[in-house]
Structures are given as C-alpha cells and as structure tokens.
Amino acid sequence: MSATQFFDSPQGRRIAYHKTDGAGPTVVFLGGLKSDMEGTKAVHLEAWAKARGQSFLRFDYSGHGESSGTFEEGCIGDWHEDTLATLDALTEGPLVIVGSSMGGWQALLAAKSIPARIQGLVTIAAAPDFTEDSYWAGFSDEQKAELDREGQVALPSDYMEPYIITKRMIEDGRTRLVLRDQLSLPFPVRFLQGTEDTAVSSEVAYRLLDHAEGEDIQLLMVKGKDHRFSDDECLRLIETKVEEVLAAPVQN
C-alpha cells in the first residue's frame, strides 16, 4: 500500500490523503463523522479504481484519521473547507463524489459549491442536516442547557466511544443546511440506504429524494442492511452505482 501523503490547506490544516492516478473523472470518497480514509468502503473503492485504471482520491478531514487537529475542534463548515481545498489542490477536471453518512452531506455541499465540476454523486446513508434535525432536535432540555453552559455534550455511539458534540458544531451546522432551500443536482445521482439503518432513518433518505431537483436521481432502499453498508453485497452495489454514474451521458 502506498504511503500517506499530506498537504497544507489554505486554512493551515495538514490534510492526509491517498491519490491514485488514472483516467478521469476522478472518483472521490468522502467519509463519515469520526470515520477515516482507512474505512472498508474507502479502501475497497480504491482497489476497484486501481483495477480499472480510474483516478481516485480518499482523504481525512481535519480532526480525523491522520490529518491535523482534533475532532472536537471541528465542525461541518471546517470539513467542507477541507473538502474544497483538497479537491482544488489534488484534482483536475470532472469529479464523481461518493459520500458516506456525513460524507453524503459534504457531497451535497460540494455539489452546491462547485457544480460545474461534478459529473455525478453516489451517497451511502446520506445524513444531510443531521446536526439540526437529529442532534439538536433530539436533545433534551437538560442537554441543551449543558451545551449552552459547557459548550459541549457527549452522545453515545453504537460504533465507538461517545461523540463530543460542541455548541460550535450545532451553530455552524445551521449555516450549512441543504434541505431548507433549493438543492439542484443536475447530474446522475444515486442514493443508497439500508432499511435497518439505526443511525440515519429511511425517512431522511425519502426526504432527500423528494427535496433534490434533477432529471436523473434515484434512491435504492436495500432491505436488511444497516448503517455500515460494508458487507460484500453492499460493496458490489456501491461499485455498480459508481460505474452507472460514470457511464451516464454528461449533462449540459
């Protein structure tokens, strides 16, 4: 496996990445909250890209994996800046973005920021606006008071140690919401969602499908699959949908 490479973003963050050279468009994997570029889906897609000679990029947001900073310092806007800086520094031409969970939100933010570069999107259990619609909406009065008083609150996780959710993350998230105003996705889009996902509900997937505007947008609900969406069947399905987007006619 190739060694991790680094670059310094305009915001002064040291971003870790792995880049595979090949034919375009570049497929970019955006990971989830507190995930990193060594996750099953990211590494699997890299191997898939190498096998077909496809340009591919995976990286760690600041406060994640091998990049600089701590998770508690970050927020949705910081990771959006990291994404745009990484794409600008390390890629050229059209992009197909694959976003998992929070990475799905980041993919949608990228599509709003650099629409001319996006040839297609594939999301896996996309979690747009979760800081507001899941975290804040689910906080008790006591948790909201703790957040205001202490500047943070700890939330249990099914997958790792508790998440430390900061007041800054909540407040910044409100400036990055994508389900409140127009969300134009004028390119092939494939949303993937497991019916047994307890972290992101099917309701979120249907809401996103209903809200997004575009001529080629599909949602595939996969019975019995959970939020990880990383078994062999799911990985093959992700490959198939990325290939489908890559093969679709470029829309003007």
The pLDDT tens digits for 172-192 are 999 999 999 999 999 999 999
Q: Is the pLDDT of residue 13 over 90?
A: yes
pTM for the whole thing? 0.95
Q: Is the pLDDT of residue 5 over 70?
A: yes
Residue 2 pLDDT level (bands cut at 50, 70, 90): confident
Side-chain half-sphere exposure of 235, counting CA atoms within 13 A: 14
- Domain annotation for the chain: domains and CATH numbers: 5-129+182-247 (3.40.50.1820)
Q: What is the pLDDT of residue 102?
A: 97
Mean confidence (pLDDT) of the chain: 95
Pull the structure tokens for residue 148: 């205001």
Question: Is residue 234 within 8 Å of 46, Cβ to Cβ?
Answer: no
Average pLDDT of the residues in 79-85: 98
Q: Is the pLDDT of residue 193 over 80?
A: yes
pLDDT over 90 percentage in the chain: 92
Q: What is the pLDDT of residue 157?
A: 73
Side-chain half-sphere exposure of 183, counting CA atoms within 13 A: 21
Q: What is the pLDDT of residue 1?
A: 61
Average pLDDT of the residues in 57-65: 97
Helix, strand, coil percent content, the chain, rounded in steps of 5: 40, 25, 35
The pLDDT tens digits for 144-160 are 999 999 999 998 776 66
CA dist 109 and 228 (Å) reads 22
Q: At what angle do helices 102-113 and 76-90 cross, to 10 degrees?
A: 60
Q: What is the pLDDT of residue 3?
A: 92
Q: Is the pLDDT of residue 125 over 80?
A: yes
Side-chain half-sphere exposure of 68, counting CA atoms within 13 A: 12
Average pLDDT of the residues in 41-68: 97
Q: Which of 8-17, 40-49, 151-160, 238-247 has the lowest mean pLDDT?
A: 151-160
More confident residue, 2 or 13: 13
Average pLDDT of the residues in 98-115: 98
